[in-house]
């Protein structure tokens, strides 16, 4: 089982994710769009339109005007998620030279920032689930998969937090594991013997594989939809 | 499309499509709806994205005039769009094929009337699109839904009649050339009576600088706007003309999703503009007419390159006011007035400041509704609903509810709405709820304030 999740599945995950996303973007680009369907106010194209699209995609100003509570929960959720993904770079590799030059203790800093991020995003995810259940107009448009995705995310967050707040987790273990995985030289002795890590990594892979086939793909699609309505 | 009693009678006599063409039922109908939903896979890109992008956040419902008027499940924009989206998901996506209803993939349930009613309870106002974090414009899906309805012959009788009359006579009121000529003479007399000045309402003048296309309602039902515009042209000494064959920019193909009749209806106006050799095709106080001309026909070059420019009378008058070319006497409009942004002018054409400049220059007490401009609430009669008397109660008590509240809050005595559909809906709304507010056009106040 360990061998399956840690030794074989990751290759499928990467292939399914990249091919799936690539295919979806390809069919979107390929689909004909006869003219823009401008929604005003809209800049008249060029750099202004580009910045309007970037702003909408990064700050969600439309949602800010439309539903302030959802905006707060969703925006903090997404920003924290981005920070956590960046933070995960240290799971794969490290930059001791950089930390020395900046004069910081990377381990204690990531313990604090990672801990705060983990708690913050868990609270946001909880709020989003409660909102989906509590508000009729959201509940009546929610399908089973909408709840499943949130539960999956909650499980990933819970196992991640368990590693962060539980007994010390040695990142050197994952670094040598992933570098062996990337160079196709994985041996069973290099597989991290940590059940929490295996579970966390397994759930994350399920989520990543599901992205090209689910609404989570909105992180790419939003640029397409905004381009169609944000150009006069 | 308007309420002139004389014209209405003529309209009824006009040959219309036989009302009962609902030949397709049962499995055949189910298959046709399913195939139409599946065909979205071939584009346009925007619809394809909308099939896959919705994050199910519910923001659209919070901002929808119909759902806010009285919430039901199918009035929830995302849920309504699911009537198409779920069929697409089930048949055209990997997740839908594998997991079916677990990811929201479902077959069409065969209830065609429910399908029709749902898409004809959306006013297509695009307010949801302004707030949607995914950039989804549910009005595009609504129009697709109506196109499916139309293909199967289920378009509501009243709207089909308007389209047939318009294709037959060139205008949605079914008025003939003689009626237009008579109306022009009558309006000239009215202006002479009111102002003591001879102001011409010319028609069919080849070589005139401006070919003016109002909605026919502004000639036959609420003519003060056209009278105001005539006064402006007169004051400036500009040569302009109406056409006795083409005097109604309204085009209901936009509302029923019938591209073919929309283009056919539009062609008469381009042919007429070419024949009259005008320099400018000026659209009147009608948002969807301007949208079709400027943002659909001209942009997509339906009829090739055009030897004239397309502009709107609101932009024109706002421009000459800025230039100081006319003098307006605000004391002629002493009462509190407000302005309703028709969705097609605001969200679809970006014309929001011009009408305000005109109103503020002509009225002593101009008040804004809240919210306004591109955030404005729909009158409740958009997307052709205004013409449908069989949903009168719905328009008065559900879709118009937010608008009524907004107008009440201004305490205005006059509300300008440069759109025949908005005017009809708002006038009915004021009457139904016993409000003492007059509904008119933007150039109505210009008519009163312009010093000749």
Averaged pLDDT in 10-residue chunks for chain B of 452 residues: 42 39 72 96 94 95 98 98 97 94 94 97 98 96 98 95 94 95 97 96 97 96 96 97 97 96 96 97 98 95 97 98 97 98 98 98 98 97 97 98 98 98 98 98 98 90
Choosing among A19, A38, A54, A66, which should be mutated to test the B contact, i.e. which has the most B CBs within 10 A? Answer: A66
Residue B310 belongs to what H/E stretch?
strand B309-312
CB contact under 8 A, A74 and B53: no
Check residue B51 and give its pLDDT.
Answer: 95
Calpha distance B43→A27 (Å, rounded) = 10
Check residue A45 and give its pLDDT.
Answer: 78
pLDDT band at A1 (very low <50, low <70, confident <90, very high): confident
CB contact under 8 A, B102 and A143: yes
CB contact under 8 A, B55 and A215: yes
Provide ipTM, 2 decimals.
Answer: 0.94
Total number of residues shown for chain B: 452
What domains does chain A contain, in order, with CATH numbers? 2-16+50-229 (1.20.950.20)
Kindly report the nearest CA distance between residue B63 and chain A, in angstroms. Answer: 7
Chain A residues lying within 8 Å of B375, measured CB to CB:
65
In B, residues 185-204, which contact A (CB 8 Å cutoff)?
none
From the list B442, B224, B225, B236, the residue with the least C-alpha distance to B323 is B236
Chain B residues lying within 8 Å of A146, measured CB to CB:
56
**Which residue does chain A place closest to B72, by CA atoms?**
A137
CA end-to-end distance (rounded Å), chain B: 32
Kindly report the nearest CA distance between residue B29 and chain A, in angstroms. Answer: 26
Calpha distance A17→A15 (Å, rounded) = 5
Closest residue to B61, CB basis, from A137, A221, A225: A137
Check residue A46 and give its pLDDT.
Answer: 84
Chain B residues lying within 8 Å of A40, measured CB to CB:
346-350, 352, 374
Residue with tokens 């994710």: A17
φ/ψ bin of B440: left (φ > 0), alpha (ψ from -120 to 50), beta (otherwise): beta
Closest residue to A32, CB basis, from B44, B131, B299: B44
* Residue A86 pLDDT greater than 90, yes or no: yes
Kindly report the nearest CA distance between residue A85 and chain B, in angstroms. Answer: 21
Choosing among B49, B97, B106, which should be mutated to test the A contact, i.e. which has the most A CBs within 10 A? Answer: B49
pLDDT band at A28 (very low <50, low <70, confident <90, very high): very high
Q: Tell me how many helices (H) and strands (E) chain A has.
A: 13, 0
Check residue B26 and give its pLDDT.
Answer: 84
Residue with tokens 């509940």: A139
Partner A contacted by B50 (CB < 8 A) = yes
pLDDT greater at residue B9 or residue A69: A69
Region A196-218 average pLDDT: 95
Residue with tokens 């009147």: B284
CA end-to-end distance (rounded Å), chain A: 55
CB contact under 8 A, B133 and A60: yes
Closest residue to A62, CB basis, from B130, B296, B348: B130
* Cα A20 to the center of its chain, rounded Å: 16
What domains does chain B contain, in order, with CATH numbers? 26-151 (1.10.1060), 173-320 (no CATH), 327-449 (3.40.50)
Region A185-200 average pLDDT: 94
In B, residues 378-417, which contact A (CB 8 Å cutoff)?
none
What distances in angstroms separate CA B93 from CA A24, A40, B87, B296, one per listed residue?
Answer: 11, 32, 10, 31
Closest residue to B54, CB basis, from A135, A215, A230: A215
B165 and B172 Cβ atoms separated by less than 8 Å: yes
**What torsion do the CA atoms of B161, B80, B123, B170 make, to the nearest 10 degrees?**
-30
> Count of CB contacts below 8 A, A vs B?
156
**Which residue does chain A place closest to B70, by CA atoms?**
A137
- pTM: predicted TM-score of the whole model, two decimal places: 0.94
Partner A contacted by B353 (CB < 8 A) = no
List of residues 6+ apart from A40 with CB closer than 8 A: A232, B346, B347, B348, B349, B350, B352, B374
Partner A contacted by B97 (CB < 8 A) = no
Chain B residues lying within 8 Å of A221, measured CB to CB:
49, 52-53, 134
CB contact under 8 A, B42 and A74: no
Calpha distance A19→B87 (Å, rounded) = 25
DSSP reduced 3-state for B206: coil
Check residue A231 and give its pLDDT.
Answer: 80
DSSP reduced 3-state for B242: strand
* Cα Dmax for chain A: 60
Chain A residues lying within 8 Å of B79, measured CB to CB:
140-141
DSSP reduced 3-state for A187: coil
CB contact under 8 A, B57 and A33: no
């Amino acid at each position: 089982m360990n061998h399956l999740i840690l030794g074989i599945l990751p290759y499928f995950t990467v292939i399914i994710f990249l091919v799936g996303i690539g295919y979806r973007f390809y069919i979107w680009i390929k689909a004909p769009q006869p003219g823009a369907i401008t929604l005003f106010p809209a800049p008249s194209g060029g750099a202004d339109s580009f910045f309007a699209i970037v702003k909408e995609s990064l700050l969600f100003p439309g949602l800010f005007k439309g539903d302030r509570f959802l905006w707060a929960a969703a925006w903090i959720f997404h920003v924290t998620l981005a920070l956590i993904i960046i933070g995960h770079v240290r799971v794969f590799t490290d930059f001791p030279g950089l930390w020395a030059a900046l004069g910081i203790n990377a381990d204690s800093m990531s313990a604090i920032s990672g801990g705060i991020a983990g708690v913050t995003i868990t609270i946001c995810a909880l709020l989003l689930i409660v909102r989906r259940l509590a508000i009729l107009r959201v509940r009546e448009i929610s399908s089973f998969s909408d709840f499943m995705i949130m539960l999956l995310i909650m499980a990933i967050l819970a196992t991640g937090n368990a590693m962060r707040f539980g007994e010390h987790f040695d990142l050197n273990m994952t670094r040598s594991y992933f570098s062996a995985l990337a160079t196709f030289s994985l041996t069973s002795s290099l597989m991290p013997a940590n059940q929490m890590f295996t579970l966390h990594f397994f759930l994350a892979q399920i989520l990543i594989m599901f992205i090209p086939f689910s609404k989570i793909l909105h992180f790419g699609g939003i640029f397409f939809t905004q381009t169609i309505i944000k150009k006069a | 499309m308007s309420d002139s009693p004389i014209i209405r009678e003529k309209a009824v006599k006009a040959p219309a499509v036989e009302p009962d063409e609902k030949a397709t039922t049962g499995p055949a109908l189910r298959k046709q709806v399913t195939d139409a939903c599946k065909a979205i896979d071939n584009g346009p890109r925007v619809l394809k994205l909308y099939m896959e992008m919705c994050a199910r956040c519910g923001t659209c419902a919070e901002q929808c005039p119909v759902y806010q008027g009285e919430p039901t499940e199918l009035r929830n924009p995302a849920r309504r769009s699911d009537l198409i989206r779920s069929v697409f998901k089930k048949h055209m996506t990997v997740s839908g094929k594998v997991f079916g209803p677990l990811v929201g993939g479902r077959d069409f349930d065969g209830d065609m009337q429910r399908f029709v009613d749902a898409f004809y309870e959306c006013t297509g106002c695009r307010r949801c699109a302004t707030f949607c974090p995914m950039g989804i414009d549910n009005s595009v899906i609504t129009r697709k839904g109506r196109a499916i309805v139309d293909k199967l012959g289920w378009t509501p009788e009243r709207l089909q009649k308007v389209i047939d009359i318009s294709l037959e006579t060139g205008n949605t009121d079914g008025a003939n050339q003689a009626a237009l000529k008579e109306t022009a003479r009558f309006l000239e007399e009215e202006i002479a009576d009111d102002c003591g000045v001879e102001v011409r309402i010319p028609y069919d003048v080849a070589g005139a600088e401006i070919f003016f296309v109002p909605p026919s309602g502004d000639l036959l039902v609420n003519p003060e706007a056209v009278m105001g515009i005539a006064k402006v042209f007169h004051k400036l000494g500009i040569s302009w003309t109406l056409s006795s064959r083409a005097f109604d920019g309204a085009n209901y193909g936009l509302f029923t999703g019938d591209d073919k009749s929309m283009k056919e209806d539009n062609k008469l106006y381009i042919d007429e503009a070419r024949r009259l050799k005008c320099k400018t095709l000026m659209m009147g106080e009608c948002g969807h007419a301007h949208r079709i001309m400027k943002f659909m026909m001209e942009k997509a070059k339906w009829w090739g390159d055009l030897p004239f420019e397309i502009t709107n009378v609101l932009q024109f008058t706002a421009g000459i006011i800025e230039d100081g070319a006319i003098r307006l006497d605000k004391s002629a409009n002493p009462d509190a007035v407000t302005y309703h942004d028709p969705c097609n002018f605001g969200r679809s054409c970006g014309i929001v400041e011009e009408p305000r400049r005109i109103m503020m220059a002509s009225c002593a007490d101009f008040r804004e509704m809240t919210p306004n401009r591109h955030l404005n609430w729909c009158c409740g009669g958009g997307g052709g609903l205004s013409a449908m008397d069989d949903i009168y109660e719905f328009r008065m008590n559900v879709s118009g509810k937010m608008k009524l509240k907004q107008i009440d809050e201004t305490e205005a005595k006059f509300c300008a709405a440069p759109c025949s559909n908005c005017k009809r809906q708002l006038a009915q709304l004021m009457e139904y709820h016993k409000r003492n507010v007059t509904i008119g056009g933007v150039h109505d106040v210009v008519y009163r304030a312009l010093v000749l």
